Amino acid sequence: MQPVNRNSPNLGPRVSIVDHQGKLLSRFGDLHAGTAPTAFLGPHGLSVDSRGDLYVGEVSWTQWPQFYPDTPRPAYIRSLQKYERVH
Amino acid sequence: MADIVGSGDFRYRIVDNWAKLPDGWSFKEVAAVGVDSKDRVYAFNRGEHPMMVFDRDGNFLSSWGEGLWPRAHGLHMGPDDSLYMTDDGAHCVRKCTPDGKVLLEIGIPGKPAPYMSGEPFHRCTHTALSPKGEIYISDGYGNARVHKYSPDGKLLLSWGEPGTDPGQFNIVHNICTDADGWVYVADRENHRVQVFDGNGKYETQWNNLHRPCGLYMPYSHHPVCYIGELGPSMAVNRNSPNLGPRVSIVDHEGKLLARIGDPRPGPGPTQFLGPHSMAVDSRGGVYVGEVAWTLWPGLFPNEPRPEPMRTLRKFEKVR
């Protein structure tokens, strides 16, 4: 999170799923940070339920000024999202 | 007794105040340093005299390039003592004679390609030469590419895109080569050096580095590599020790051989602020250019810059 690469695409924020040896299995998140349903701001805590659904907690409030130093935080910023696994 | 730094086969005596500048002159900061076949040292800097040349003992010989270089960034010395100079402010690379005559210009000065377009150049950073004299250009801050040019400046191929996977880059900051044709790329904000063949095919990577910034390899088979690593600059880890800035010397497979620099940044003789470029003379002496002026506020936000700032260092090899 530095001015020098703040605008570069494809560096996250994102969620990556790897095997136990670190091999990439799946990745999601847009090329840039954002508030769209497919984008992230700061995926900070993850958990999975019995059906394989994924819950992602995001430290969006803290991260916002770093991504958007010139835009005030919106009144609501998403910080917990559910991803239902497709079976 | 003078301070000795380093370890093993790489022990150095610090030479204080090595560069003797003309009265009233300043580097502002030395972005890149090179040494020619006669051990003349070229300091490519961001002051009013962009190139200053010294002898091995730091005596001033000449200056050139005034008005031509908005932001000095990278320097590579060719085998015939030609200089390949990269300016990230002008978005161009020039090949110059040792007295500053421009032989070749690649890129359009002042005209960047669109950000992250992959087209040359957007704040290009450094150059290296293949065994056949082809020119690799790292590019850079506003692209995530390496371009390969013929010796006379025709684009042959390019590789890389933004990201963290093999072959992807997050600030392509320096580049160097060896006599077997391997290409070593400082992928600075991915905290790694990536190794490619001459066609851009990914071979391996070196990790366990912190923001590798400057790369220097003597041209030979299986050379060692001198790596200038930048220190922490984010508020969250700014005060953590043992993250650089420092100079690490590794073998051609990335194994650490020696390291210079205190656990924390600073202006002391054994400390670094921003080791951005290195070069080695015929006696093994190491010269380090530091972007101390630019990095000081990030390292010490509440302290004014000291005057003068030390931005070119010499480490004399202990034999």
List all residues 6 or more positions away from B217 whose beta carbon is below 8 Å from its beta carbon.
B176, B177, B178, B184, B223, B224, B225, B226
Residue of B123, B143, B171, B192 to mutate when probing chain A, most A C-beta within 10 A:
B171
pLDDT at A87 (0 to 100): 87
Q: What is the tens place of the pLDDT at every residue in B192-206?
A: 999 999 999 999 999
CA-based nearest distance A9→chain B, Å: 6
Q: Residue B83 and residue B68: Cα distance in Å, rounded?
A: 15
In chain A, what's the furthest Cα-to-Cα distance? 42
pLDDT at B308 (0 to 100): 85
> Is beta strand B72-77 parallel, antiparallel or unpaired with respect to B60-64?
unpaired
pLDDT at A3 (0 to 100): 87
By C-alpha distance, the chain A residue nearest B116 is A8
Residues 222-241 of B with CB under 8 A from A: 233-234
Say what the pTM is: 0.96
Q: What is the tens place of the pLDDT at every residue in A65-79?
A: 999 999 999 999 999
pLDDT at B262 (0 to 100): 96
Domain count, chain B: 1
Q: Residue B91 and residue A37: Cα distance in Å, rounded?
A: 37
By C-alpha distance, the chain A residue nearest B298 is A2
- Residue owning tokens 């690490």: B248
Residue numbers in B near A1 (CB within 8 A): 234
The total of other beta-carbon atoms located within 10 Å of residue B16's CB is 10
CATH number at residue B278: 2.120.10.30
Find the helix or strand (DSSP H, E) in which B258 lies: strand B256-260
Tell me the residue range of the domain where B247 lies: 4-317
pLDDT at B138 (0 to 100): 98
For residue B121, whether the previous peptide bond is cis, meaning omega lies within 30 degrees of 0, is yes
Contact (CB<8Å) A5/B171:
yes
For residue A1, pLDDT over 80 is answered with no
For residue A26, pLDDT over 60 is answered with yes
For residue A51, pLDDT over 80 is answered with yes
For residue A22, pLDDT over 60 is answered with yes
CA B28 to centroid of chain Cα atoms? 16
CA B92 to centroid of chain Cα atoms? 16
CA-based nearest distance B78→chain A, Å: 30
Q: What is the pLDDT along chain B (319 residues), one digit of tens a residue?
A: 468 999 999 999 999 899 999 999 999 999 999 999 999 999 999 999 999 999 999 999 999 999 999 999 999 999 999 999 999 999 999 999 999 999 999 999 999 999 999 999 999 999 999 999 999 999 999 999 999 999 999 999 999 999 999 999 999 999 999 999 999 999 999 999 999 999 999 999 999 999 999 999 999 999 999 999 999 988 899 999 999 999 999 999 999 999 999 999 999 999 999 999 999 999 999 999 999 999 999 999 999 999 889 999 999 999 8
**DSSP for B167-231, written as a single string:** TEES-EEEEEE-TT--EEEEEGGGTEEEEE-TT--EEEEE-S-SSEEEEE--SSSS--EEEEE--
pLDDT at B53 (0 to 100): 98
pLDDT at B257 (0 to 100): 98
CB B74 within 8 A of CB B86: yes
Q: Residue B57 and residue B39: Cα distance in Å, rounded?
A: 10
CA-based nearest distance A11→chain B, Å: 5
Please provide the average confidence, as pLDDT, over all residues in chain A: 95
In chain B, what's the furthest Cα-to-Cα distance? 53
Helix (H, G, I), strand (E, B) or coil at B161: strand
CA-based nearest distance A50→chain B, Å: 31
φ/ψ of residue B194, rounded to 5: -100, 145
ipTM of this complex prediction, to 2 decimal places: 0.92
